Amino acid sequence: MKIAVINFSGNVGKTTVARHLLLPRIEGAELIAVESLNADEGQGQALRGRQFGELQEYLQTVDSVVVDIGASNVEDLLGLMHRYRGSHEDFDCFVVPTVSALKQQQDTIATVAELAHLGVPASRLKLVFNMVEDGVEVAQAFDTLLAFIAEKPIAQANTGCRLGTNEIYQRVKGTGADLEALARDETDYKALIVKAQGTADKLALAQKLATRRLASGVVPELDACFVALGLGTGLARTALPVPRQVA
């Protein structure tokens, strides 16, 4: 299974979807991050044709991969896909995370339209409704996007493919933590807190306890979202590998 996680828009949770939704549930999958050098400092560097060629070649050598495409590289990558005719066929599926803000919905529409123009069929183009507030219906929050898909069914929009807002993703950002492993942690943190001598040690243990509780709550949601995607592969719990960078 080879999956690209993509959206013209930033701040839609592409990395969360790639690392925490898809990667741990696809057996043997590797994570490839396509991102610009110094993108965080606003000094983005365009993805070059040679690098895209190397990415295509590498995709031929692996069975399972999740490619997280940074927003600053999406336009360049899609342009190169037009140049490398048929290169979109290297991916079994394009997963497009989106959030409810109107701009992001409009960017998502532009993303799926461009992928459809490339020749990606609706069966391989799937939306994930991300950062949905508790008690809010997807149909209500994403009415603009869903109205477009209803009129032009060029992507799959299963409202069961939803993820809520959760601070766990910020807590584990940059740590390579596996949420399933955190949820399975059986450490008796409360007992350790009682025994701890200093306030700093107690707080550190309390943070680990809180992180485990958040992980325990979010893993079932991730499981349900993955099943709703209908990717046709079973859950495969794996530790998160260090991502290969394509910059």
Residue 233: its pLDDT value, please? 54
Residue 40 predicted with pLDDT over 70: no
Please give the helix or strand (H or E) that residue 129 lies within, else none: strand 125-132
The one-character DSSP state at 177 is -
Residue 35: its pLDDT value, please? 74
Mean pLDDT of 195-199: 94
Single pTM value for the model = 0.86
Q: How confident is the model at residue 74 (pLDDT cuts 50, 70, 90)?
A: confident
Token match 């532009």: residue?
110
Token match 């069914």: residue?
153
Domains in the chain, ordered, with CATH?
2-168+222-246 (3.40.50.300)
Which stretches within 135-185 are classed as H helix?
138-141, 143-151, 168-171, 179-184
Half-sphere exposure of 7 (CA within 13 A, CB side): 26
The one-character DSSP state at 234 is -
Residue 188 predicted with pLDDT over 50: yes
> Is 134 strand, coil or helix?
coil
Residue 55: its pLDDT value, please? 87
Which pLDDT tens digit goes with each residue over 5-17? 999 999 999 999 9
Mean pLDDT of the chain: 88
Give the whole-angstrom CA distance, residue 62 versus residue 173. Answer: 26
